[in-house]
Amino acid sequence: MSAIEILLVDDEIEFAETLAERLRLRSFKVTVVSRADEALTVLDAGLRPDVVLLDIKMPGLNGLDALGEIKLRDPDAEAIFLTGHSVASSSIEGMKRGAFDYLMKPIDIAELISKIEQAAEKRKEKSGGADGQSV
């Protein structure tokens, strides 16, 4: 099985880059962007990540609205929200809009990896075959 590909979208760039480094040490393939519009640009350029990790509160397009735009480009996309909000309402709203799950920051890496693997598996099933290939 090829490495799970992740698109990490978070305006807290130090957090995103450090988390990406940790995920890469665990053999995930990670692309980091700091704004939702940059995420849409890389998707428009053809990137099809297995999982999108998405901050909710960002300058410009917020994570909740970004999820809708991502789903328009890639209906099978699976997103996990990473949020610093202690109030769960935004995260619940994210679930209503089709997110796979959400995690509160600071995150637990083992829990995140478990959710990433579950989300990637779900995407694979939706796409209808191994490694996201149609059969």
Residue whose CB is less far from other proteins, 19 or 120: 19
Residue whose CB is less far from other proteins, 29 or 122: 29
Helix axes 63-73, 36-44, angle to 10 degrees: 10
CB of residue 10 vs other proteins: minimum separation in angstroms? Answer: 10
Alpha carbon distance 98, 33 (integer Å): 21
Which of 54, 5, 62, 57 shows the shortest CA–CA distance to 33? Answer: 54
CB of residue 22 vs other proteins: minimum separation in angstroms? Answer: 5
26 DSSP 8-state letter: T
- Site of interaction with other proteins (CB under 8 A): 12, 14-15, 18-19, 21-22, 25, 57-60, 84-86, 105-107, 109
Tokens coding 120: 């990637």
Residue whose CB is less far from other proteins, 26 or 73: 26
